[in-house]
Each structure stands twice: as C-alpha cells, then as structure tokens.
Amino acid sequence: MPLFAFGVREDLRGSLAGKGTSSIAEVAGHWQTEECFIYSGTAGFSCFVVGGDSHQMLESFVETLAKQTRTRAASFKKTCFFEEGATAVELFLRILAGLDANLQVRGGPETFRGDFEAARQKGQTGPVLNKLYQRGLWLTEKIRIDLKVGRSTANPEAVVCDLAEKIFGNLREHRALIACGGLAGEPFDAKLTEKNIGQILYLGDNGGPSTPRANERNKTVAASQLSSILPTVDLVLLLDGAAQEKLASVRMAQVMSKRKNAPQLWVSLLENGEADTIPDLSKFYNVYFYQKRDLDKIVLSNLKDHEKTSGAIKRLLEKEVEDFFAWVNTGEQHRFGSIVGRSEAMQKVFDLIARISQTDISILIDGESGTGKELVAKAIHDHSARASNPFVVVNCGAIPETLLESELFGHVKGAFTGAANNKIGLIKAANHGTIFLDEIGETSQATQVKLLRFLQEGEVKPVGSNETERLDVRVLTATNRDLELMVDEGHFRQDLYYRLNVIQLTLPPLRSRKEDVAPLTTYFLNKYAALTHKTVLGVDESAQRLLENYDWPGNIRELENAIERAVALSSARFLNASDFPPKVCATNSLPRNDFSADDLSLKEIEKDYIAAMLKKHEWNYELVTQILGIGRTTLWRKMKEYNISS
Amino acid sequence: MKVPDVSTLLQVVPWLVCFFYAFSFVNYFAYFKKKEQQIANRTRTWLISGVGVHTLYIVLLSIYTGHLPVGSTFLVLTTCAWFFVLVYLALELSLGEMTMGVFFLPVILVLQVISNLFINLERPLAPVLNEIFFEVHVALMICAYSAFTISFITSVMYILLSREMQSKELGIFFERLPSLEFFDKLSNQAVNIGLGLVSVGIVLGVYMGLNVWEGKWVLDPKLVAVVISWAIYAFHVLTRTTIGWQGRRAAIVSVVGFNWLLFSFLIVTTFFSKVHNFQ
C-alpha cells in the first residue's frame, strides 16, 4: 500500500492561504487516488495520499500553486517536500499530535481534526487514513498523559512568574508594575493573573491608560507618581524603552530604604542598545535584576529540558509507525481492536475510543441489543494503560438482584445464611483494571447506592463487613434501556446516572449503517469457515443484497448467527440466499401476517411473537434466541416483562 | 529467650539510631536529586523508623539513669537530636516540603554520632540536678537550640538559593527548593522563638546559680558563651526589624550565631572543666 505525503513548508503559507486551498481541492478531485486528505494550516500545506501516481500528483500540485503565486514551477518545486512510507506516516502523526520537527509539543493545530473529520464525511479518506487518524488521536493522549507535557516554561512570561514565585512565594500579597507602551504587557498580565497576583499596575504615558486591561484590580499610574509607587511594588517589568527617562530620575537607594530592603525583582526586556542607559540595579541589596539576555538564557535552558522528553516521544512515535505498518500488512482494514466497521458512525466511535481510553473517565455505552457494547468496553480497556490488568465483565441482568451486591462487593463469612467463607467481590478482582457492568439498568436501588459510593469515594465495603477498602478500578457501563427515562420514572438514581454518564458512547444499530454489513459479513465468514474447516470464499451477489436490505433487529449478533448458520448449512464455495434464515430472505416480500383484524402496539406484537416462538420450539431458549436474533438475557428480561412463562 | 538487659541494649540502640538516620539521609539526597514520589515514601518510612528507635533510646536512657536524659553534655546532645528530629518531622508533615531533609539530616546525624562516641553513663549525677528547675532549664535550652538550628539550616538554604538567583545561573536549588520568602519566614520565626526560650532559660539558670554556686557563676564560661549567643540573635531581631537587614543579611547573622553556638560549646566542654559541667 503506497502512502505519500507532499506539500509546502510553512514559510510559504501566507501566500497560499485562501485561493490556494480551494484550487488544490479542485485539482485533487482529478487525482486517481484511493484516499486523499489535504490539510492547510499553521504547520504547512500538506497532502496525504494513499495509492495513485505520486509524481503526477506532485506535478499538478506544483503547477497549480505556482500559477497561484505567480512563480516559476521549477523554483516553486524547490520549496516543496515529498515523503513516502514511514516518514509520511510520521509526518501525519506529528502534525496531529502538535509536535514540531524537533518533537517539541507546540500545541496541536486544532483545525487538523476538524479538517480531517470533514474530509472523512465527504468520503475522501478511507480505511488507511482513518486508521492512521485514530492511532494519532490515541498517541496524542498517550503523550499528554504519560509524559505530562503541556505546561511549557520555555517563554519569558513563564520564567518571570517562576522567578517571582521563587522570591515571594505566593504572589497573592504582591504587586507588579508593568512599564510598556503597547500590548507587550498582555502575555505577562495573563500569566501573572493566572498566578493570582495581588495587583498589576501599569505605568501610563502622562497618566493616560496604556493598557486595554485596566479594571478595578489593575490600574494605571502616572509617571509622576513613580517615586512613591516604586517602593510599594515587588515586581517591576520594563518591556520597552518608553519608561526609561522616567526611571532615570528615580533614586534606587531611596526606594530600597523605603522598602526596608524587602526583596524586589526587576525584569528588563530592553534590547542591548536601550538597556545601556539603565543603571545596574543588581548592586543594590536584595534587588534581583534580570535583563533580556539572562531571561533568554533561562528560556533556552528550559527548552533543553523539554528535549529530554522528546526522546520518549520519539520512541512512542516510532513504535506507532511500526504498529501502523504491521496493521496495514494484516489487511484487517476495517477493524479497531476487534470491532469491525467502516461507516462514518463507527469511525466516530473509534475516534472517541482512541481519545478517551487512556483517561479514567466513566463511560456509559448504550445501544440496542447485539451492537457489540462489550467489544467496545474491551477495546477501551485494551487501549488504556490498564491493559495488562484484569478486565472483568459483569452482566447485572443475569445475576439475581439479591446476589448482585455480594457478587460485586464481596461478603464476609457469616454475612448471611450460606455465606460460609469470605468472598472477594468482582470489583476487587478488577483492581487496577477495568470492570464492565453490562445492563446496569437492571440493578436494584440498594446496589445503585453502593455503586455510587464506590464511584465517588473509590471505596467498597463487602456485605456484612465494617471495613471499607480503597480500590483503583475504572468503571465502564452499558445498557440497552433508556436510562434517562428510568431516571424520570424513579427506577434509576439520578446521581448515579450522572456519575456513569460522563461520556455517553452510543452504538448505532446495524440497520442505520448498512455499509458495515459487507465487512462484518466477510469477518464472520472467515471466522466460521475457519472454525468449521470449510472453504467459503464469500457471499453471492443476490444474497449480499438480501443481507444489506434486511433490517437486523438483533443487530450484529443476529448477523453473526445468520452467517454461522449459513456457513454450517452451505455446501458451495459462495453462500447463496437459500443458506440464510427465511426471515432474512423474506424482507423484500410483503409482511407475512395480516394485521388488519386489530390494532396492536409493537409491544403486544412482540409479546405474542415471543410467546408463539417459545411454544413452537418447545421452550428451547437457545433456538429461540437465534431465531429472534436477541441475546439470552434480553429474552429472559422480555419474558419477565411480558409475564411469559411455561 | 533471655531478654537482654537495659545496659546491653544501650550499647546497640544508639548506633541503630545512627544507622536509620544515615539511610534517611541517603534517601533524602536521592529525593533531592530526582524528586520522585516513590523515593519520598521510602524516605519517610526510614525517618519515622529512625524516630521510633530514637524514642526507644531516650526511654531506655531515662529508665537507666532514673530521670530525663539531660544530666550530662552528651546526654543532652542526643536528647537535643531527638527533639530536633521531631520538630523537623512536624515541619515536613505540616508543610509537605521534603527537600529540606537533605540539609537537616546531616546535622542530626552529627549530633547523634558525637553523643554516641563520648557518652558516659556511669558518671554519678550531681545532687543539684535532681531539682525540677534544672530539668526545665535544660529543656528550655534544648528547645531554643533546636530553633536556632532550624534557623541556621533554613538560612543556609536561603543563601544558596539567593546566590544562585543573583548569579542568574539557575540550577538545582532553583529547581528544587521552595521560595526565598518561605526560608526567610521560617528562619525569622525560629530565631524569635529561640530567643524567647533562651532568655527565659538564662534567667532560670542564673536564679539557680545564685542559690547553688553562691556568687561564682559570673565568670562561668558556659554562661558567658550563651550570653554572647543571646546577643547575636538579639542583634538579628533588632537589625531585621529596624534597619531592614532582611533576607541574606539576616541569614548570615543566623549562620554566624549558630557557628558561635557550636564553637563555644566545643571550646567550653573541652577546655573548661568547670562547675557548669557538674563533674
């Protein structure tokens, strides 16, 4: 699979903005590519392309832009770059993660994500770039969380704050004076305000305001007041030459004696020429005087510290590139973990998993029965730092309510009749890992209270025990019921709902993403063909159409069952329509039953149908779940709900 | 199993104390260099164990000698170290600041080693020392000296950090130590408290001296030495509050004061074998 990246280095960006982007987009429409993503932003103008004739594309790219900027194509080409393979992949990941060429975190260009998602929606990108994008999202979070980067001290305002805090401790009781003409004070003002400084004074020209930020906390002082103001401020920032003459008339010895020699920090950002006129303040006792060159030196050495992390980033990046090519070579193009899907809706789900898996946020996965909620939970676990620790699945609907509490939290010997020994709860079994609570809507109020306590305090108390224990477990939950409705009806605690539902991840039903049927079919086909040692190459065209037109009320589970059945029954190399269950085939025909007799609600039909099926197949649950395309638990719940029993 | 008697334990336990403090110091040093939470937890375990063993030692000494271990110079030294480490631990826990340990532990360790080397438990106690006033007097002095030691160490740290900042070559002190203001405050408070305690201690001592020594006390070298230290610290408070000797100058005065304390202590105990040593 050939992957290229080409584009323009950032120095030319200014002349290309606007029209250049749109004309390239137009030209790109004619390129014979499998996938293409064009990004223009602060990090340059780059095209990422999968497949096609790269040289021809580069030529047309250069030609178009050269025309746009009115330069000769040959000289324009010199400013372009061309990368392929691993370097192209690395470039993509680097831009996405906001890393510069030296692997320093520079704050990601946020437009990259938006641009990419827009291109994906238009269908310009495909499995390869989508996968790369998801890996990149994951990597970005990994770098942020593992290496704790993000707080940069490599700028003058951060250094000034560090210095001030080293001298004065907390800045709340201290005042700063900023002397500057224009907007140069803005970043310092912002940083000092962030540090809760007591007050910021501005030295105004002739008493007039020199700053847009004069409010009741920060005020402007006139130059004539300088000698009375100076002894009361602890930090003086000289940002430009404007205040020089005013300062020349101030007698430092007097200022310091008025301050009783309390320490004072002076920072001057004047250029070398201007700075000559300033007296050397560092000879005064307890005055810390930093000039521009001193600050520059500190900024530079802070930058060097950052470089230490770039080694770690480099290793992560290299591993990611390697993993990406390993994935490309397996040919599993529409997969994320063990989830299959190429539809836009599923790509969004994959993006979200990539971004949130490494945090400890609670996630509520909802979706119809059979949409693969457990697979999503497993994928989140596998992509987190907890991957090597246990992943425990609890189906709250399958455990009787009375037992659920002791299953989750454990119990001590003698807690209730039959509790002959201490039992470790499932939450504890998942310590340092993840617990996945499926069908959370089926839990009793008492269990909900205990769960809430665990989520809030991180503590569990086994049944019958007086001692609580602190555990580190990430909680993922899933439901196929409308929890919000249950909250409104009072069946589900509202506080618990908000706790669980920090992020809601909704799995779309299969009928709303028909384009996923084909890759899913291939996936299950290969799986069951291998299991049954049959050579099944695919599904014939008419059968494929049937599968795509069917509604799949049981979603992916139903599809899987249908294909398992078809593979088992089939004797040909291609599955045909007759191998599939009759109701799949019957989709296109008219409804089988005549409903004209009475007006029934869907629930009533469902109830009657389940009862009829159970009776027909002599209460063989296994068979009935297969026919209905629903899980055993769902069947069991529905039987309870509709009061169906043998 | 035969329980070892107190005198055998007294041979072993003091060195065990040193051992724990030495290990704490190594860990504090590692923490200062790397600043990792893992090391911090380990370090605190070592220090708290050390304090535990030291407390046991103080209890054993009290049992053995029959009163608080303040009867001789080197007994006072270990009690001083013990009290001092308690104060330090309280400081560390309340401020959540562990980088100072690397400066405090050596002082504690030196005090303990000197005490271990020269301690003599067999010497009979002068009868005058059985008075309650005497124990209060010594306790006050120990507290005062602990305060002065804290002031000394924080002053040293102040000077180191301040020098680094004046030179504009920011290094490990800038990176690891808390702010100048923090050291300044701590040092000044310690001097204020120490000065108060030592004043009361001297008055008490003079009062007892009047009763016991009947006039000979005026020329006692220990008294002279302590009055000079008092003067130095009083100077510290005075210059700081009136003529603005804040920050580095105050720190230097505190360092001078502490050096005088150490120097006079060594001189007096080695060269003047006078009544104040009760020998």
Report the greatest alpha carbon distance in chain B. Answer: 67
Which of A8-17, A514-523, A551-560, B204-213 shows the lowest per-residue confidence on average (mean pLDDT)? A8-17
Percentage, residues of chain A above pLDDT 90: 4
Token pair 């030609």 is found at A63
Q: Domain containing A546 — which CATH number? A: 1.10.8.60
What is the pLDDT, as a whole number, of residue A216?
54
* B90 and B168 inside one domain: no
* B171 and B232 inside one domain: yes
Q: What is the CB neighbour count within 10 angstroms for residue B91?
A: 17
Task: Single out the residue of B148, B135, B116, B111 nearest to residue B230, CA to CA.
Answer: B148
Q: Domain containing A165 — which CATH number? A: 3.40.50.720
* A55 and A168 inside one domain: no
* A100 and A115 inside one domain: yes
A166 contact B CB<8A: yes
**Do A508 and A396 form a contact (C-beta atoms < 8 A)?**
no
User: Per the domain annotation, does A260 fall within a domain?
Assistant: yes
User: Per the domain annotation, does A304 fall within a domain?
Assistant: no
* B51 and B85 inside one domain: yes
Chain B residues within 8 A of A163 when measuring between CB atoms: 165
Chain A residues within 8 A of B181 when measuring between CB atoms: 167-169, 263
In this model, does residue A629 exceed pLDDT 50? yes
* B82 and B172 inside one domain: no
Residue ending a domain, among B77, B99, B125, is B125
Which of A12-26, A309-323, B164-178 shows the lowest per-residue confidence on average (mean pLDDT)? A12-26
**Do A606 and A638 form a contact (C-beta atoms < 8 A)?**
yes
**Do A353 and A346 form a contact (C-beta atoms < 8 A)?**
no
**Do A463 and A425 form a contact (C-beta atoms < 8 A)?**
no
- The 10s digit of each residue's pLDDT in A397-407 is 888 888 888 88
Phi, psi dihedrals of residue A329, rounded to the nearest 5°: -70, -25
Percentage, residues of chain A above pLDDT 70: 87
* B138 and B256 inside one domain: yes
Q: Which domain holds residue A267?
A: 156-290
Confidence of residue A208 (pLDDT cuts 50, 70, 90): very low
Chain B residues within 8 A of A263 when measuring between CB atoms: 180-181, 246-247
- Using DSSP's 3-state secondary structure scheme, residue B68 falls into coil
CA distance A453 to A388: 26
Residue ending a domain, among A508, A533, A557, is A508
Chain B residues within 8 A of A261 when measuring between CB atoms: 244-247, 249
Token pair 């160490």 is found at B153
* B134 and B121 inside one domain: no
B182 contact A CB<8A: yes
User: Per the domain annotation, does A646 fall within a domain?
Assistant: no
Which of A103-107, A147-151, A413-417 shows the lowest per-residue confidence on average (mean pLDDT)? A147-151
Structure tokens at A303: 């930058």
Strand A80-84 relative to strand A3-8, pairing: antiparallel
Which ranges of B96-129 would DSSP assign to H, the alpha helix? 101-118
A296 contact B CB<8A: no
CA distance A581 to B213: 115
Minimal Cβ distance to A166: which of B165, B244, B246: B165
CA distance A176 to A192: 9
CA distance B110 to A621: 80
* A350 and A494 inside one domain: yes
* B174 and B253 inside one domain: yes
* A273 and A347 inside one domain: no
Contacts of A482 (CB under 8 A, 6+ apart): none
In this model, does residue A152 exceed pLDDT 70? no
Per the CB < 8 Å rule, is B166 touching A288?
Answer: yes
* A396 and A525 inside one domain: no
User: How many domains does the structure of chain B reveal?
Assistant: 2
Residue ending a domain, among B72, B102, B125, is B125
- The 10s digit of each residue's pLDDT in A56-94 is 888 888 888 777 777 777 777 777 888 888 888 888 888
Q: What is the mean pLDDT of chain A?
A: 81
Substitution target from A286, A298, A300 for chain B, most B beta carbons within 10 A: A286
In this model, does residue A207 exceed pLDDT 50? no
User: How many domains does the structure of chain A reveal?
Assistant: 5
Structure tokens at A259: 């301050």
Residue ending a domain, among B125, B150, B174, is B125
- Using DSSP's 3-state secondary structure scheme, residue B192 falls into helix
| Segment 52-91 of chain A within 8 Å of chain B by CB | none
* B235 and B189 inside one domain: yes
**Do A635 and A610 form a contact (C-beta atoms < 8 A)?**
yes
CA-to-CA separations, A600 to A261, A588, A605, A609, in angstroms, rounded: 90, 22, 7, 12
Query: Of A588 and A221, which is predicted with more confidence?
Result: A221
User: Per the domain annotation, does A311 fall within a domain?
Assistant: no
Contacts of A21 (CB under 8 A, 6+ apart): A38, A40, A45
In this model, does residue A382 exceed pLDDT 50? yes
CA distance A91 to A8: 13
* A357 and A483 inside one domain: yes
Q: Cα B95–B100–B106 angle (5° rounding)?
A: 140
Structure tokens at A91: 């470039």
* A583 and A618 inside one domain: no
What is the pLDDT, as a whole number, of residue B194?
94
Mean pLDDT for A305-334 is: 79
β-sheet bridge partners, residue A423: A411
User: Per the domain annotation, does A623 fall within a domain?
Assistant: yes
* B140 and B226 inside one domain: yes
What is the pLDDT, as a whole number, of residue A13?
45
User: Per the domain annotation, does A314 fall within a domain?
Assistant: no
Give the ipTM of the model, two decimals please.
Answer: 0.82
Per the CB < 8 Å rule, is B179 touching A169?
Answer: yes
Positive or negative, the Cα torsion across B164, B170, B176, B179? positive
Q: Provide long-range contacts, Cβ within 8 A and 24+ apart, for B113-116.
A: B113/B18, B114/B74, B114/B77, B115/B14, B115/B74, B115/B75, B115/B77, B115/B78, B115/B81, B116/B14, B116/B15, B116/B18, B116/B78
What is the pLDDT, as a whole number, of residue B253?
94
* A482 and A515 inside one domain: no
* B194 and B259 inside one domain: yes
* A55 and A136 inside one domain: yes
Q: Provide long-range contacts, Cβ within 8 A and 24+ apart, for B269-277.
A: B269/B73, B272/B221, B272/B222, B274/B220, B274/B221, B274/B222, B275/B213, B275/B216, B275/B217, B275/B220, B276/B220, B276/B221, B276/B222, B276/B223, B277/B72, B277/B73, B277/B222
- The 10s digit of each residue's pLDDT in A222-264 is 777 777 888 888 888 888 766 666 777 777 778 888 888 888 8
Phi, psi dihedrals of residue A48, rounded to the nearest 5°: -110, 125
* B50 and B104 inside one domain: yes
CA distance B76 to A480: 74
User: Per the domain annotation, does A394 fall within a domain?
Assistant: yes
Per the CB < 8 Å rule, is B247 touching A298?
Answer: no
* A576 and A560 inside one domain: yes
Task: List the end-to-end C-alpha distance of chain A, in Å, as a whole number.
Answer: 58
How confident is the prediction along chain B (279 residues), in pLDDT tens digits per residue?
Answer: 556 677 788 888 889 999 999 999 999 998 888 777 788 888 888 999 999 999 999 998 888 887 778 777 788 888 889 988 998 898 888 877 888 888 889 989 988 998 888 887 776 666 666 677 788 888 898 889 889 999 999 999 999 999 998 888 888 888 788 889 889 999 999 999 999 999 999 888 888 777 776 666 566 788 888 899 999 999 999 998 888 888 889 999 999 999 999 888 878 877 765 556 554
B73-B75-B80-B81 Cα dihedral, nearest 10 degrees: 120
Confidence of residue A23 (pLDDT cuts 50, 70, 90): confident
What is the pLDDT, as a whole number, of residue A106?
63
* A502 and A515 inside one domain: no
Distance from A254 to chain B by nearest Cα, in Å? 13
Q: Domain containing A57 — which CATH number? A: 3.30.460.30
Q: Which domain holds residue B192?
A: 126-279
* B109 and B21 inside one domain: yes
Mean pLDDT for A605-632 is: 83
Per the CB < 8 Å rule, is B180 touching A263?
Answer: yes
* A369 and A490 inside one domain: yes
Mean pLDDT for A572-591 is: 71
Residue ending a domain, among A474, A508, A542, is A508
